A and B are shown apart, each in its own frame.
Chain A
Amino acid sequence: MTGPSGSGKTTLFRVLGGFVPSMIRAKVEGDVLIDGTSVLAGDSLRPAADVGLVQQDPDAQICTLNVWEEVAFGPENLCLAPEEVNARVEESLASLGVAHLAGRETTRLSGGEKQRVAIASILAMRPRVILLDEPTANLDPRGAREVFDLLRSIGEKDGRTLVLAEHRLAPLLPLKPRLVLLEGGRVVLRRPSISHSDLDSLGLRGRWEIPRPQPARGGPPALILEGVSFAYGETPLFDRLTLRLWPGEVLGVIGPNGSGKTTLLRLVAGLERPQAGRILRPKTRTLGFVFQYPHQQIFERTVRREVSIEEEITGERLIALLHLARLDGLEEAPPLSLSLGEQRRLTVATALARGPELLLLDEPFIGQDRENAAWILSQVLAARTRGAVALVVSHDIPLVAALCGRLLYLGDEAFEGETADVLHHLEKTGREAFTPGYWDGGSQ
């Protein structure tokens, strides 16, 4: 199941799972049948026994402190005998290859591990249908690949019904899925099967073509990192990292979760101090920082007050800014009542309002459909044209590879260079999940 943000995928999943209207009040017409039995008939046993829902955010859906307890949570709620609970936990963890995590604290798992534990906790309920609502949206490419591989094995081994909401379809093709395209709460397309050529003809490939002019490197660099080292406690993130970025350059920062991508932005913004080395950057007053989640940087009661936090913006300038963000006429609206896409456009427009020389974007494309992602891209390109330096942290590899002239990979080793060279090195060193080919079907 695919479709733009706001097309109703999550709501439909909650209906399929029986959460709407039993838990979330809503008017629902029609019915959902599993093996001929209604999910919506008001029997609260049905969601637990027949349908399992894996949600988008792997961290938010975990409700206990220990992996074993998390997987046992469902079977224990079903009042199964302790021996049966033990057997189901062991079987579920083993089937996902994460038996070794049984004794671990859930807060100490990586994103990919958390999502595996979330899926294991659903498998332990032995539902006939598993719903997965964008299960890889918050994962790094390696974690996402793990989940896709896992889904293949569940589909092949167990013969369970899987219903997936997903934007990135190419890695799913080996599952031989049916396709449903949703738009505005309606099914606009059904296909009994899909192929690589369908992805092209339907515009669902996820490829981006962006002109990338080579910026002139004649003058002094706009941003310099010289021998920067940083560690959290005993965990080193960077060791003598050196970077030079010239006006008009866009650097994509990629790598696994926990490799220090956000920390790098925080160092450049001056929110952290390097333990060794130095960072020379434009004055902080010309810094624009877009955080991962819009609500983290929305503070005011109206859109107009929000854009005027740093300096009063009124009249023609306010109208122009809201028009740029496609928020015309919404100046008195509470920002947190806007859709996620509108909130994202507001935070990007606010960050760009003062024409920053340095633009930092932390996962700006999460939860954004293609139209919104294209709008964010256009703003980064406009900033690049006027000579700003931009650092873009993203797990959306096809997009970041198309946008950025240079890439920095952070992980077990750190390397940086022209985008084509870095991608070639990643492919050569077995990190295909970090190359666009894996995501748009160019390589499997």
Chain B
Amino acid sequence: MIASAALARSRGGLRRATPLANLILLLAFVVAVLGSPGIFVKLGALLLVVFLSALSGGAPAEVLRRGRFVIGFSVFLWLVQVLSVRDGSVLFSFGVPVTDRGLLLGVEMAMRFLVIVLSSLLFVAVTDADRLARAILSLGIPYRYTFTFVLALRFVPFFREEYRTVREAQRVRGIDRSIRSLKSLRRSIRYTVLPVLVAGLARVDTVAVSMKGRGFDLHAKRTVTRRERWHPIDVAVVGLSLLLVAATILARERGWQ
């Protein structure tokens, strides 16, 4: 994972930016790799995400080392394209013809995957959940809706822990957890989802009482005491995001491959 200890320790680079600016950058990366034709913009986006990771505390070598599963999977995607695409000129053949179109589509697919996954991991690594929550709460959207997002973040570790415990309880009781048929899949889902859901519902009840008891939803608005303030680095991050989107539009207009 790119969300390495080095990134977590670092306070530099994108960690100094407000989570909203980082979220805009993440969206720009997604737009760039999904909206641009060919590999030109995608390669630029890939180099940029590696550079930003390094700037934020993860050395490029470490990023590559920790992201080896992601890289391995992108190579797999490339291979699938190379071996399955028949369009274009045949470059060589070893039983299966390899075409120039297949090679290019494979590189595109692999880069798309790499940029989306690496930029998402970078976003997770450089963003404090509570700062993100605060930023979203101060957006001006009615807090009844934005607070749903904060609660979702609160529930993530809980569900992760409950899931682990339930799976262990199944193991201790010798329940066969392998999935070999639709029936065993259904049973596995029921055995896992039901206990986790029961725990979740109990917790929702407690949280609802806790929130209501402290005046949640009492007024249409609430005080926001602490706000995420914008700094020059945030302007720079948003500017970079706009550049990425502009490059994508230009690539589409001018047919850069």
The chain A residues found within 8 Å of chain B, CB to CB, are 14, 17, 19, 23, 44-45, 47-48, 51-53, 55, 57, 59-66, 68-69, 72-82, 85-86, 105-107, 118, 121-122, 125, 266, 269, 271, 285, 287, 289, 291, 293, 295-299, 309-310, 336, 350
Q: How far is the CB of A215 from chain B (nearest CB, A)?
A: 25
Contact B216 A77 (CB under 8 A): yes
Using known A-B contacts A53-B213, A64-B130, A69-B134, determine if residue A86 contacts B199 with beta carbons closer than 8 Å: no
Using known A-B contacts A60-B203, A60-B207, A309-B173, determine if residue A79 contacts B212 with beta carbons closer than 8 Å: no
Q: Which 6 A-B pairs have the closest CB atoms?
A: A77-B215, A74-B214, A48-B215, A65-B130, A61-B210, A297-B169
28 contacts between A and B (CB under 8 A): A19-B213, A57-B206, A60-B210, A61-B209, A61-B210, A62-B154, A63-B150, A65-B130, A66-B130, A69-B134, A72-B226, A74-B215, A76-B223, A77-B218, A79-B223, A107-B154, A269-B172, A271-B171, A291-B169, A295-B195, A295-B202, A296-B162, A296-B169, A297-B166, A297-B195, A299-B195, A310-B173, A336-B198
Q: Does B184 contact A (CB under 8 A)?
A: no
Q: Which residues of B contact A63 (CB under 8 A)?
A: 150-151, 154, 207, 210-211
Contact A289 B198 (CB under 8 A): no
Contact A65 B222 (CB under 8 A): no
Q: Does B89 contact A (CB under 8 A)?
A: no
Q: Mark B45-65, 1 if CB is under 8 A from A, else 0.
A: 000000000000000000000
- Give the interface residue-count category, chain B: 35 or more
Contact B199 A293 (CB under 8 A): yes
Q: Which residues of B contact A350 (CB under 8 A)?
A: 173
Q: How far is the CB of A253 from chain B (nearest CB, A)?
A: 17
Q: Does B175 contact A (CB under 8 A)?
A: yes
Given contacts A76-B222, A125-B214, A299-B191, 5 further A-B contacts (CB under 8 A): A14-B209, A48-B213, A64-B150, A69-B226, A310-B174
In the complex, what residue of chain B is closest to A53 when comparing beta carbons? B213
Q: How far is the CB of B138 from chain A (nearest CB, A)?
A: 11
Contact B168 A65 (CB under 8 A): no
Using known A-B contacts A53-B213, A299-B170, determine if residue A79 contacts B219 with beta carbons closer than 8 Å: yes
Q: Does B9 contact A (CB under 8 A)?
A: no
Q: How far is the CB of B205 from chain A (nearest CB, A)?
A: 9
Contact A47 B206 (CB under 8 A): no
Q: Which residues of A contact B214 (CB under 8 A)?
A: 48, 52, 73-74, 77, 121-122, 125
Contact A65 B191 (CB under 8 A): no
Contact B213 A52 (CB under 8 A): yes
Contact for A82 among B166, B195, B223, CB less than 8 A: B223
Q: How far is the CB of B179 from chain A (nearest CB, A)?
A: 16
Which parts of B146-176 form the interface with A (CB within 8 Å)? 150-151, 153-154, 157-158, 162, 165-166, 168-175
Contact B225 A86 (CB under 8 A): yes
A354-B76 Cα distance, complex, nearest whole Å: 48
In the complex, what residue of chain A is closest to B190 when comparing beta carbons? A299
Using known A-B contacts A57-B206, A65-B154, A121-B214, determine if residue A105 contacts B223 with beta carbons closer than 8 Å: no
Q: How far is the CB of A42 from chain B (nearest CB, A)?
A: 14
Using known A-B contacts A19-B212, A23-B208, A289-B172, determine if residue A48 contacts B222 with beta carbons closer than 8 Å: no
Contact B209 A23 (CB under 8 A): yes
A64-B215 Cα distance, complex, nearest whole Å: 14
A80-B165 Cα distance, complex, nearest whole Å: 42
Q: Does B224 contact A (CB under 8 A)?
A: yes
Q: How far is the CB of A304 from chain B (nearest CB, A)?
A: 16
A27-B215 Cα distance, complex, nearest whole Å: 23
Using known A-B contacts A271-B168, A297-B173, determine if residue A80 contacts B223 with beta carbons closer than 8 Å: yes
Q: Does B194 contact A (CB under 8 A)?
A: yes
Q: Which residues of A contact B203 (CB under 8 A)?
A: 60
Q: Does B236 contact A (CB under 8 A)?
A: no
A14-B205 Cα distance, complex, nearest whole Å: 12
Interface-centre pick from A19, A60, A266 (highest chain B CB count, 10 A): A60
Contact B199 A44 (CB under 8 A): no
Contact for B225 among A57, A82, A106, A285, CB less than 8 A: A82
Q: Which residues of A contact B206 (CB under 8 A)?
A: 55, 57, 60-61
Q: Does B139 contact A (CB under 8 A)?
A: no
Contact A85 B150 (CB under 8 A): no
Contact A289 B169 (CB under 8 A): yes
Q: How far is the CB of B196 from chain A (nearest CB, A)?
A: 9
In the complex, what residue of chain A is closest to B147 when comparing beta carbons? A63
Contact B175 A299 (CB under 8 A): yes
Contact for A77 among B133, B165, B169, B219, CB less than 8 A: B219
Q: Does B221 contact A (CB under 8 A)?
A: yes
In the complex, what residue of chain B is closest to A19 when comparing beta carbons? B209
A141-B102 Cα distance, complex, nearest whole Å: 65
A77-B137 Cα distance, complex, nearest whole Å: 13
A298-B162 Cα distance, complex, nearest whole Å: 13
Interface-centre pick from A52, A61, A68, A72 (highest chain B CB count, 10 A): A61
A359-B216 Cα distance, complex, nearest whole Å: 45
Q: Which residues of A contact B168 (CB under 8 A)?
A: 266, 271
Contact for B133 among A44, A64, A293, CB less than 8 A: A64
